[in-house]
Structures are given as C-alpha cells and as structure tokens.
Structure 1
Amino acid sequence: MMTEDQSKSQQGSSRRSFIKTSALAAAGFMIVPRHVLGGKGFLAPSDRLQLAGVGAGGKGESDIALIYKGGKTDVAFLCDVDDRRAATSRKNFPRAKYYKDYREMLDKEHKNIDAVSVSTPDHTHAQIAMAAMQLGKHVYVQKPLTHDIYEARKLTEAAQRYKVVTQMGNQGASGDGVRRLREWYDAGKIGKVHTVYCWTDRPVWPQGIAWPSGKAQVPKELDWDLWLGSAPYKDYVDKLVPFNWRGWWDYGTGALGDMGCHLVEPPFRVLNLDTPYEVECSVGSVYVDEFRRGYFPESCPPSSHVTMRFKKTNKTKGDVELHWMDGGIKPERPEELGPNESFGDNGVLFIGTKGKMLCETYGMNPRLLPLSRNAEDKTKVTIARVPGQEDGHYAQFAEASILGYGKMELSSPFEIAGPLTETLLIANLAIRGVDVQRRNANGDVSYPGRDMKMLWDKVAMKVTNFDEVNQYVKREYRQGWSLGA
C-alpha cells in the first residue's frame, strides 16, 4: 500500500507526464498532413506552398521565379511542351519533377500540388486553369485570363464554386499607381469622369498577314500537338512559336489581349466599371498592292480603334465612353500638356468634369494635368499599398494560397479579372465582326467593311444585333479537348 507522500508523488508524475504528452500531441498536430487537417486546398501553418508551373519559359519562367521569391514556396513541378523553353527553369529548380503534358502531371501528382501557375499561349489558359481548380488547386493565370468570353465567365464561376485562391497576371493591379489614381478620383480632383482613352504601340509582332505557305520541320524538343491543344490542327510553321502566335486568332487575342489587362485595369478599378453594353469598332486596312486591300481573317488587324460604352456606376455621373487604340493610333494630345512634356506610346487618359489625369502601362507614373498640379498635391494616402508593388503581386498570391480561400484580399482575383477579360474579348468580337462583314458583302472580300456597331447582352452572353459574330463567344475545341466545366 502506498503512503500519502508516495501517492502525491505519483499524482505529480502522472500530471507532468500528461502535460508533456499533451504538449507533444499539440506539437505533432501542427505537422499533420494538410489533407488530414482540412481537406483539399488546405495548408497547415507549418507547410510550404507546393507549386506546379505550366509554361516554364519566357513569361512563365519569371512567373515561377517570382512566386517562389514571394516566400514559403517550393517549385515542385514544371511542365512545358517545349524543352528548349523550359531549360532555364529546370536549371533553376533541379529538384522539380518535369512533365510535358499538364494532364499527366495533374493526374499523377495532384496530391502533391497546392497551386498551379499557368503561363502558356492564350488559347490554353482556360483548360489548364479549370483542370487545376477542379482538383482544389489555387491558380495564378497570366493575362488575358482566357481566349474566349465563355471561358472567362466559366473560370470566374469556378473560382467561387471550388473555393480556391485566384490571381490574374496583370501585376499593375498591385501597383501604387492605380491606388493613387483612385485616391485622386475619390477626392474629387478631376470631378466625374465621362471619357477614357487607352492606347498602345502594340502589336510588335506580325498582324494583318496571310498564314505562311508550306510547312516546316517540327523541332525535336517541341510537342506540336500538345502546343496546339484545343486549337484546330495545322502544320507547324516557322516563327509562330514562341512569340508570334499572339497575332493569330486561333491562339492569341491581339494587342487588346496582350496590353488591355494592363491599360484598362486603371479605369476599371477607379470607376468600378463592368462589361460594356455597346461597342463600335474600326480597323486598319492592309494592302496587297496599290489597288487591292488584303483579306486575312485568320490574323488580327494591324491597328484598331474600339469605342466601348459602360453604364453609369456609383463612381460616375452618367455612362462612360472608353476608347481603345492600338497599332500606333493615339488620342489627341491633351491641351494641358506642354510641348516638351511626354504623352507616351502606351497610356491611359481620364477626362473628368473638372480636370484630367494620366498614367502609363500598369498604372505607373500617375499624374494630374496640368503637371504643375502634382507638386502642390496634398491628397492623403487612404488605400493600403501592396509591399513590393508589381513583384508583390506574386507574393500576395503565394501568401493567400498558404492562408486559404477567403482569408486575404487579392489585387486581381477572378471575380475582378473575369469581367475585365470579358470586356477586352467583347471588344475583340467587334474587331472580328469587321471581317465577318467583309465576308458577307456579296462575296467580295475587297469590300471595306471597316467599321461596325455591336450591342452586347451580358446575361445572355451574346451580341443581339449581329448574330454571325456570336460564333466567337465560345469557340469549338479540337476533338479530344474540353473545358470540363
């Protein structure tokens, strides 16, 4: 029989043992695998983000590197259809397992992937992102979000349905410039905006040309069929990969897709715009010779001027007219600018009832007009800044993915990026509609057909006054490929 002192000693030992065991259990709980803790898409606080990069060269190379740089990220998998393009990323991340087909990677490795970066040609964004989201993976997708309007709508819906963190790669959305423009506007510095001009010197790749004749040898490092993905099959041609695909409708979205997400982002954010209800368009002509205009419907035009009209918002007094200009077309120089003050080859001009303001690509270098107003400006900083600005766009995605869906605000989640992308693609509908007009003009493709006006129904997702162009709202995928939505 134990004495009283022995009993007290054993009780103390038991209590110490219980506390020690409980502490160990608690410590052990912190490193339980994430799938045990919270299901798919959940990361324990002690975990690192396991990233898969689809599209490992060019912009994909920098996207992967900057998400990694953002912290607590391991580049676990790399995927690219072209071994040449992936070479640097494979060298930078030698422990990452390499695939050519994203479908095989997701099928075999989905349990080991937390987030996917998609930096491929426009026509493959949606299928890759959707496949990842359906597996509960967070996604960072390069701009434009998608190739088609239908795809943009479906990705926006899927992000909410699958409860995953999303970010589009328009890094200017995280910059100080857009926030400063918002602060000026909310402070009433230029009154109520009624007109906006966005312009770019793009395209800097060939557009308004005929598809190359003949075919070339496919490089041994490139899987051409995988590169084509959902696009119609065509024989490989030189100089399409890795850059000039942007000027062909089967793969790219032209100057609007390339630069629109950087230049239309500021007015979208400052004025709380949604998709337009009316679009007018004119495009530049290409001449085969001095007598005949060329007709190249597979290629985006060399220049365009698109006018979009948006309904009144809580930030405007009435409807807003936004002009998009590319191919070197620019708006009239503001009279408030001095003769030696730069207007820029890429920029945005806001015209309000009490003044004007201007910025460059990504919302950079924001300034009030005339420029003398900036030296005396005392507008307070009221909107939180993203540390690192454009680079911080990537860190923001990495951090939000670690915290989990709904735990942190992002600069360009699909709920914002989706409608912005839809707007640019609606404008592209009008551009493509010009070619449809020419095709329908008694079969005479020399008919100018260089302008049109289009009415857009957002709910029905269709043009209501020119049905022929609705074929481009949702394109037909090549057999064997689907969006999976």
Structure 2
Amino acid sequence: MATFDPINRREFMASAAAFAASFTIVPSNVIAGLGKIPPSDQITVANIGCGTQGLREMGELLQNPKVRVVAVCDSNKFSTDYFDWSPYGIRNDIRKTLGDDTWWEGKLGIPGGRDIGQEYVEKYYGKNKPSGRYKGCESYEDYRELFAKENGIDAVKIMTPDHTHASIAIAAMNKGIHVVTHKPISNRLLEGRKVIEKAKTSGAITHLLAWSDRPEYRQIKAWMDAGLIGELKEIHNWSYRPVWQQWTKRPSPAMPIPEGFNWNLWLGPIPDMPYHKNYTHNVFRGWYDFGGGSVADMGHYSLFPLFETLGINKSPLAAKAFGTTTREEVNQVYQWVDNNVAFPASCTIKWNFPAQSTLPAFDLFWYDGGMKPFAPEELERDGKDTPDEGLMLVGTKGKILGGFRGENPVLLPESTMMTGRDSERINSREVERNTSSWVDAILEGKQTPGSFIRAQTITDTINLGAVALRAKSKINFDVNSLQITNNEKANEYLTREYRSGWEI
C-alpha cells in the first residue's frame, strides 16, 4: 500500500532551498523558474490524456501559479483528426493562453496528442524565460513508463477515455501520487468500488472533477427543509445530450492503425479488437466498452453535488431503463437491431433509492437524447413547458424546477409559490466558482469536497444505470454483496473481461 509521508516533496525542496540560500542569495523568480511562487509551494502535475478535453482544460492548469506541469502522456503522438463541438475551440483556447494569435496558423483539423500537449506546456512556460524557450516537460506514450521514471510528481490529472480511468488512478495511488480525474471514476461498478477503496486506504488526496459548489442546491435544500414541497418523492434530471454519434453495431471493416497511435495501449484493459476510428478521438463515450453514455458524461455534473447537498449517500436498490430501438434493412426487410455494444441515442432510466438519513425513499429519473418529463400541471396552468435541459424535484406538496444543474430554481406553481420569494432566487451566473479546489487541497494536505471517498453513491448510480440499459429489464441490486439478485447474467455488466495483465 502506498504511504503519503508527512515530510513530502515540497517540504524537502523548501529545506533544500533554505540550505542553498545559506551560501547564495537567489531572487525568488529565479528559484521559481516559472514565476514568483517557489517550487516548494507548487504541486507538480502529470497530465495524462491530451485529446480535446485534456487540451481544453490544460490552459487553466498552466495559468495556475500553484501548479507546474512536468509531464504529459498520451497513446497518440500527434494527429489532427479529433472530433469536437467547435472547429476552432481548441485552437482558440491555446492561442489565448499562449498569447499567440498565430499558433496553428495555416493548419487544418482539430489537433491532439502528446506532441501538442508538450508543445503547449513548453511554449507557455517559455514565455517567462529570458530566452523565450523552456524544456522541462517530459512526454510519454505509456503512463506506466511515466510512473516508473518520474519520481517527483505530486499529482496526476487523468483526461483519458473512461475505460482507462480506474487503471491509471490505482497505479498512481500505488506510487504515492494524488489523483484528479475527469468523470467517471470508472465505467464499471465493481471497478469503481475498487478505486474508491484504494482512495480510502492509500491516504491519497483524490478529486472527481465533476464536483462543483452549487449554491442553487443549498437554496433548494433550504426550501425542502422549510417543508415547502413536503416529503421528497421524485427527482427528475434531463439533458439534450449526447452530442456525439451513437452507434448500433461494431464498425466494419477494420481500418489500418494510424502511424504514431498505440492502439493496444489505448485499449488498455479491453481485450484486443480491430481498430476503427469510430472508437477513438472523442467518440468513445457512446460505447459500452469505452464510455458511460450521456448519464456519465453529464449526470455527474448535476447529480454528484446534488447528492452531496441533500445527504444522499446510500446507493440505489433497483434500476430500470428504456432506450431507443433501431431497425436496419436486410434483403428488403427492415429488422430490429439487438444492440448490446453501444448506448442508445436516447433513453430514460429510473432508480429506486432507499430512505436516507434525512430523506424518505424516493425515485430518481434520468432522460437524454431529447427525452424529458412532460410538463406538470403547475407549468401547464402558467402556459409553460419543461425546458430542454432541467432538474425537477417532486414532493408531496409541491415541486422545485431549475436548469440542468439547478440554475435559477423556482417553486411550482411559480405564480403562487414564489410570492414573496423572488429575492431568494440565485442568478447562478453571478456566483464565482473555485475551479482549483483540488490544487489548494493538495497543498494543504486535506481531502477535497469532490474526493473519491465521497463519490461512491454517484458512481454506483451511474454505472447501475448502464447495467439496467444492457439488461433490458428491472434489476435489483444488493449493496452488501454487490450483486444483481434477480438477473444472474446482468452481473456480467458490473465488471468487464480484462486483457491479460490489466486485471484490477
């Protein structure tokens, strides 16, 4: 088991700096090398995953004076064939961070890969050097080599496809490295449990990036505590996602593996299968093997902080789901496609939650792909409909409706329930959010509000939804044995078949 020594790297470097200062007085900006904050007060970070979201979030990392990015890693060396929701978003983000409007000038496509990540880091830090150049960011294809060679890493930020999050997180904690990861912690329930248990026993500081402080939820809880909607019966959450293409069967024929792309490493724990571009470069989320669907992509953002605020810390006991069906033409006959490889284009999922310490038993509903709840009578009387994305809490006496993450919540019916309460409404756009909570937590040696050890219920919920979609029937979940009790085959979906040597 990894141990996190109280005499850590920063304290060691601070002592070394003090010893060196006894011989030579060195200006702080020289000690820091990258700014005015000395290395003893910075955390060193390895960024694993240099695709679209990895690069999109790297600018914020580089501009944080408390962080020094010392390594990047990606199984892809370099390519311009990534998919994104903006043709120039990544390029423009990098230009803005670098202060260079000529970066990527005259080039086509959406860039990604470890070469781009390394270039981004070194160009940014080079701005603070008299020479304008900086060489201090190592580049790796394999995260296992990174962990073997880099001994001074404080934290790793995992920005890879969902199916590799667990392997990387556990490997990092085994090396005594703190872990920050994009959602989900894992796209398999039993895997997620193992990562969370490792976080509890290792002493690592961990953070799930989907967490955020949402004052709207505190307002919602205050209204609930005041009895304004009675006892909670249902929570409804819906998104127009997915924005990426959903598939109905494995792509064929196989395609040649691109030069500079390590397909076997990208697969990680997944047994070997033929390469196809429809799996990689930001379209992985729709596949059961590689992603977690829209509910994992977006549901973490809305539900994780809601669970935390309302005190929902007991996992669901059952789940049921429906997804859109697909037909294809075979010899002039349209036939139903039995799709067990990818998430449907739209779905609805229902979970049955047990009573919590301060809440009665309730049901949680998720909708995506254009599906959403019908407008309740309170909205119809006011001539309104449910928004394209939203959150609604239904009680025995009333309802609360807000945006997808509870933005600008209102009591229903708004025409009467909100009387005298307009002054309480929060404009979420005016609320400043601290996106660097994990950086400060690591420097202070404490867990973050978004720690893995607080994320078991959301991780179980999201992954149990995927199991229900694949099982195509209601599933009953025993939280003690971690088994589906009414469908033996569905237990296969709680875990995965592992490539030899990648078992967790």
Normalized against structure 1, the TM-score is what?
0.80
The question of 1:58 aligning with 2:79 is answered no
> C-alpha offsets along residues 294-314 of structure 1, whole Å, 9 cap, x if unaligned?
112112222222211111123
Q: Secondary structure at the match of 2:343?
A: coil
Normalized against structure 2, the TM-score is what?
0.77
Alignment of 1:225-304 (within 5 A): 225-265=264-304, 267-273=306-312, 274-289=314-329, 291-304=334-347
* Distance 1:98-1:261 versus aligned 2 partners, 3 A rule: same
Contact between 1:63 and 1:119, CA under 8 Å: does it hold in 2?
A: no
Distance 2:423 2:442 in 1: 34
Q: CA deviation at 1:378?
A: 7.1
Q: Name the residue aligned to 2:146.
A: 105
Distance 1:126 1:481 in 2: 11
The question of 1:414 aligning with 2:456 is answered no
Q: Name the residue aligned to 1:330.
A: 372
Q: Secondary structure at the match of 1:155?
A: helix
Contact between 1:307 and 1:324, CA under 8 Å: does it hold in 2?
A: yes
One-letter amino acid matched to 1:353: T
Q: CA deviation at 1:93?
A: 0.8
One-letter amino acid matched to 2:208: M
Alignment of 1:353-432 (within 5 A): 353-372=396-415, 373=417, 376-377=420-421, 388-389=432-433, 392-393=434-435, 395-406=436-447, 410-432=448-470
Contact between 1:165 and 1:413, CA under 8 Å: does it hold in 2?
A: yes
Q: Name the residue aligned to 1:74.
A: 68
Q: CA deviation at 1:70?
A: 4.2
> C-alpha offsets along residues 322-378 of structure 1, whole Å, 9 cap, x if unaligned?
111222221111233366656322221101123211232343333333345557327
Deviates more, 1:352-361 or 1:143-152: 352-361
Distance 2:465 2:304 in 1: 15
Q: Secondary structure at the match of 2:279?
A: coil
The question of 1:83 aligning with 2:77 is answered yes
Q: Name the residue aligned to 2:483.
A: 462
* Distance 1:165-1:71 versus aligned 2 partners, 3 A rule: farther
* Distance 1:305-1:429 versus aligned 2 partners, 3 A rule: same
One-letter amino acid matched to 2:374: E
Distance 1:258 1:193 in 2: 26
Q: CA deviation at 1:470?
A: 0.4
Q: Name the residue aligned to 1:446.
A: none
> C-alpha offsets along residues 164-202 of structure 1, whole Å, 9 cap, x if unaligned?
11111214x323333332333333332221111112222
Which among 211, 214, 230 is matched to residue 175 of structure 1?
Answer: 214
One-letter amino acid matched to 2:311: N
Larger radius of gyration: 1
Q: Relative contact order: is structure 1 or structure 2 higher (C-alpha 8 Å, sep ≥ 6)?
A: 1
Q: Secondary structure at the match of 1:421?
A: helix
Contact between 1:182 and 1:269, CA under 8 Å: does it hold in 2?
A: no
Identity %: 32
The question of 1:197 aligning with 2:236 is answered yes
Deviates more, 1:86-95 or 1:469-478: 86-95
Q: CA deviation at 1:49?
A: 0.4
The aligned length equals 420
Gapped runs of 5+ residues in structure 2?
Answer: 1-10, 18-37, 79-111, 123-135
RMSD between superposed Cα atoms in Å: 2.8
Distance 2:305 2:200 in 1: 24
One-letter amino acid matched to 1:365: N
The question of 1:31 aligning with 2:14 is answered yes
Q: Name the residue aligned to 1:38.
A: none
Contact between 1:262 and 1:361, CA under 8 Å: does it hold in 2?
A: no
Which among 161, 165, 175 is matched to residue 121 of structure 1?
Answer: 161
Distance 2:276 2:466 in 1: 25
Q: CA deviation at 1:159?
A: 1.1
